[in-house]
Amino acid sequence: MTGTVIAIHLARTSEAPIESVSEVRAVAGQGLEGDRYFRMTGTYSNRPGRDREMTLIEAEAIEALEREQGIRIPVGDARRNLVTVGVAVNHLVGRDFWVGTVLLRGLRLCEPCAHLSKLIGTNVVPGLIHRGGLRAAIRTTGTVRVGDPIREATTEELSRIPPWEEPASAPGH
């Protein structure tokens, strides 16, 4: 299973417009430098857990939203940090995977919510149920770039990394 990062998005504060960047520093246990959840200014920052460190969504899911629901949105409007192509992010729940040189752990699906629909002005919830993306924890610090490959980590690679400790995760968002 391999894919590619085709876009990176950050929002500086809760409900702020999404900014597209070509690269971002991912900090283990904290998130993406400059993003609302790294700064603890996101809408759900008051809920503990590592599941806001990074979010991913498939470009294919956004294309399906238009094809099946007639709703066309720019990829940044999904408000996920990374937009991918060629990888089924739902299959990465509970798995370790690389985005370029950064190791992540897929924690849970990033289901769409009414708050997302409110921010973009259209109800995307029905079209993104079970394909709204993935919430991931950052295991190793490094830089993520547009064009980086995405692939599952091997057992050998994981043997050289400190073991994963399951984080406490807040229910919901």
Residue-wise pLDDT for 65-77, tens only, equals 999 999 999 999 9
Distance of CA 11 to the CA centre of its chain: 13
Closest CA to 29 of 48, 56, 6, 9: 48
Selection from 54, 2, 47 nearest residue 30 by Cα: 54
Structure tokens at 79: 């408000």
Q: Which CATH fold topology does 2-158 show?
A: M1 Pyruvate Kinase; Domain 3 (2.40.33)
Model pTM? 0.90
pLDDT tens, position by position, 83-116:
999 999 999 999 999 999 999 999 999 998 888 8
User: How far, in Å, CA of 105 to CA of 111, rounded?
Assistant: 17
- Give yes or no for a contact between 127 and 69, defined as CB atoms under 8 angstroms apart: yes
